[in-house]
Amino acid sequence: MCGIIGILGKEAVADDLVDALRRLEYRGYDSAGIATVDSGRLDRRRAEGKLKNLQKVLNTQPLAGLTGIGHTRWATHGAPTEQNAHPHATSEVSVVHNGIIENFQSLRASLEARGVRFDSQTDTEVIAHLITEELHSLGNPIKAVAAALKQFEGAFALAIIFSGYDNMMIGAKKGSPLAIGHGDGEAYLGSDAIALAPFTNEITYLEDGDWVVLTRENMIIRDMDGTVVQRERQVVDVSTMAIDKGEYRHFMDKEIHEQPDVISDTLSGYVNFTTGKVQFEEMPFSFKDLPKITISACGTAYYAGLVAKYWFERYARIPVEIDVASEFRYREAPMEKGGLMMVISQSGETADTLAALKYCKQQGQHIGAIVNVRTSNMAKEADVVWPTMAGTEIGVASTKAFTCQLTVLACLAIQAGRERGTISEELEKELVHALLEIPREISTFLKDESQFEELANSLSKARDVMYLGRGLSFPLAMEGALKLKEISYIHAEGYAAGELKHGPIALIDEKVPVIVVAPKDYLFEKTLSNVQEVASRGAKIVMITDAQNVDVGNEPLAVIQMPSLHDFVTPLLYAIPIQLISYYTAVQMGTDVDQPRNLAKSVTVE
C-alpha cells in the first residue's frame, strides 16, 4: 500500500514526480523518494517521513533528468527509514514497488550466496538486484525484466528505469493496481488516475499479470506468458479527483461537511424521485431467489455491512452472514450456490476484501460490489457494481464513504424487501421518504459544532473510552471507537450495550467516559438500563439521543441532542456526531488528523 509514479517527460521531471507523490500520499506516508535517468546515469533522493522532508532534500540537492520514478511508502518490511525508502537501486536498475514479494527471503538468500550485498531490510531490494543479475546475463532490460518477473511470488506494481535508457520505463502489475497515462509526447505510470490527473485523463489500466514497455511514443503490453495484449484506453473523469482542502483545516473536516451533498448524489442514483421508490438497473439475480447474502469488508466498510445486516434481516427477511475479510478469506466457508456475496469498499482495492470476493466467485456466488472507485479491481471482478458517489476521500479516517455506503445499502435493503414481498408499497415510500430527509438533517446538524469542541476537551484527557449501542447503533458504537482510536490514538472499545455485563463492565470507573449511541427506538429502554449500570459505577456518560430529559443516573458529561427520525435511517445521522467527536478530539490532541501514524488510506497488502 504505497503509491508509485513514473514519468517519461519532455522536461525535467523531479517537480512533477513530487507533485504526483503528493496526490498519492494517502496510500502511505512514512518515507518517500524519487530517481531519474539523467544523461544515461541513474541517481536518486530519498527521505524518511512525510513528503516535505524529500522536498527539503531536493531543494538542496536537486535531481535533473527527463525520465523518473517516485514512491511514497507504507512500510511492510523494514522500518520507515531513509535506507529502506524507495527507489531501490543498483548502478543499472532503479525500481519502485507497491505490494509484497512473498518469497523475498529465499531470493535474497540466493542472491547473497552469489555475492550480492543488500543495503536495506526491504523485500523490494531483491527486485533491483535480480533484474540487474538477469541484465548481466541476458544483456537487455526487457528480457531481464521478463526473466525476473517469473521469479516473484506475491503482489506487486512496479515501475523500473535503467541506466543508459532515457526513453524507456517498464511497469508490471500483479495484485496491486497500476495504470498507464497517455500524454502528448509524454507517458506515465501511476498507482491510480488521481496521481496522473494533472498530466492526463487518458488512461489504460493494466490487468493482473500484465507488464508494459513504455516509451514516449509507444507502449507494448504483454501478459504473464509474454503474449502481446491490447488493453482498453479510456478517458477518466478527473474532475472528481480534486484534492483541495478548500477553506477547511483538514480533509476529514471537509469530507464530513460534504456528506449532505454526496449522500444526495448517491440517493439520486438509486431513488426515483417521482415515484418515491428505489430503482436499480437490472441485476443478474433476483433477491426473491437468494438463499442468503454474505457480506465481507474491512474496517469502517465492515461496520457499514453490519448495519446492513440488520436492515436486510428486518426489512427483507433474508439471512445475512457477515465477516471481516481478513478472516473470511481463509475460513473456507461452505456456500450454497446462487447466493449473493457483497463486498463493500471505498477504494475497491483492499487486498483482503478482494480475496474474499474471489473466494466467493469460486463458490458460485453472485458478486455485488459497493465501491467508491468505479475503475477499481473489485468493480472489475464483480457481476454488478453499485457505486457510491462520495467523490475522492482523502482523509484516512473514512467519513463520507461510510455514509454513502449506508445509503446504497439502505436502498438495496428496500429493493430486496420489495422483491421478496416483505415490505408494502406504503412502507417502501415511508422508508425512501426518511432517506431523502437525511441530507437536510445532516446539514442542519452541522450548523452548530460548538458542543464538540467542549466535549473534546474532556475526552482528550481520557486514557480509555467506551462506546455503547444496541441494534442498528451497535455497529455505530464500533465505528465510533475505531474513529477515535485511529486519529486521536485514545484507546476506545465499541460494545453491544447488553454485552457489557459479561466482562467489560469491569473496566468502568469514574475515569472512563462512556459514549452511548441511543436513538429512541424499540431498544431504547434496554439501552437506558445498561447506561444506569455503568453510571452507578461512576462512569461519565455522553448520550447521543433524540430522547428528551433522559435520566442517566448521574450528571452526564454531555448530551448530544439529535432530531427524531425514522428508526431505519438513524445510522446515517448518528454517524455525524461520532465523526465530529473523533475529529475534535484529535484536533485537541494535536495529532495528524488526515494522515494518522502507522496507517494508510488504501490497504492493498494483506
By CB under 6 A, name the one of 299, 480, 571, 577 that touches ligand M6R.
Answer: 299
For residue 412, the number of C-alpha atoms closer than 13 Å in the C-beta half-sphere is: 32
**488 binds ligand M6R per the rule CB under 6 A:** no
**595 binds ligand M6R per the rule CB under 6 A:** no
By CB under 6 A, name the one of 300, 326, 407, 530 that touches ligand M6R.
Answer: 300
In angstroms, what is the minimal distance from the CB of 370 to ligand M6R?
9
User: How many Å apart are CA 188 and CA 9, to the nearest integer?
Assistant: 8
CA-closest candidate to residue 122, choices 145, 148, 88, 90: 88
By CB under 6 A, name the one of 170, 397, 512, 572 that touches ligand M6R.
Answer: 397
Segment 453 to 482, residues that bind ligand M6R, using CB under 6 A = 482
- Give the interface size with ligand M6R as a residue count (CB under 6 A): 16
**594 binds ligand M6R per the rule CB under 6 A:** no
In the numeric block, the cell 471537509 is attached to: 254
In angstroms, what is the minimal distance from the CB of 348 to ligand M6R?
7
With CB atoms as reference, the residue minimizing the distance to ligand M6R is 299
DSSP code per residue over 62-109:
----SEEEEEEE--SSS-SSTTTPSPEE-SSEEEEEEEEETTHHHHHH
Which DSSP letter does residue 234 get?
A: E
Segment 319 to 358, residues that bind ligand M6R, using CB under 6 A = 345-347, 350, 353
| Whether the Cβ atoms of residue 40 and residue 94 lie closer than 8 Å to each other | no
566: left (phi over 0), alpha (psi -120 to 50) or beta: beta
Cell of 356: 474474499
- Phi, psi (rounded to 5 degrees) for 408: -65, -45
Q: Select from 252-260, 292-300, 555-563, 577-585 the region that touches ligand M6R (CB under 6 A).
A: 292-300
CA-closest candidate to residue 315, choices 238, 410, 231, 435: 410
Segment 38 to 77, residues that bind ligand M6R, using CB under 6 A = none
**98 binds ligand M6R per the rule CB under 6 A:** no
Sheet holding 219-222, edge to edge: 88-89, 93-101, 154-162, 169-174, 211-214, 219-222, 228-229
| Whether the Cβ atoms of residue 10 and residue 30 lie closer than 8 Å to each other | no
User: How many Å apart are CA 283 and CA 528, to the nearest integer?
Assistant: 42
Q: Is 465 helix (H, G, I), strand (E, B) or coil?
A: strand
In angstroms, what is the minimal distance from the CB of 349 to ligand M6R?
7
Q: Select from 17-25, 216-224, 298-306, 542-550 the region that touches ligand M6R (CB under 6 A).
A: 298-306
**298 binds ligand M6R per the rule CB under 6 A:** yes
- Phi, psi (rounded to 5 degrees) for 561: -80, 120
**398 binds ligand M6R per the rule CB under 6 A:** yes
Distance spanning both ends of the chain, measured CA to CA: 10
**266 binds ligand M6R per the rule CB under 6 A:** no
- Phi, psi (rounded to 5 degrees) for 242: -60, 135
Segment 130 to 149, residues that bind ligand M6R, using CB under 6 A = none
User: How many Å apart are CA 146 and CA 509, to the nearest integer?
Assistant: 62
In angstroms, what is the minimal distance from the CB of 486 to ligand M6R?
6
**Which residue number, 149 or 356, has a Cβ lying nearer to ligand M6R?**
356
**Which residue number, 31 or 345, has a Cβ lying nearer to ligand M6R?**
345
**25 binds ligand M6R per the rule CB under 6 A:** no
By CB under 6 A, name the one of 441, 486, 521, 594 that touches ligand M6R.
Answer: 486
User: How many Å apart are CA 575 and CA 584, to the nearest integer?
Assistant: 14
Cell of 58: 531536493
**396 binds ligand M6R per the rule CB under 6 A:** yes
**Which residue number, 398 or 585, has a Cβ lying nearer to ligand M6R?**
398
Active site residues per annotation:
2, 601
Q: Select from 40-48, 53-61, 126-134, 391-399 the region that touches ligand M6R (CB under 6 A).
A: 391-399
Residues interacting with ligand M6R, by CB under 6 A? 298-301, 345-347, 350, 353, 396-398, 482, 486, 602-603
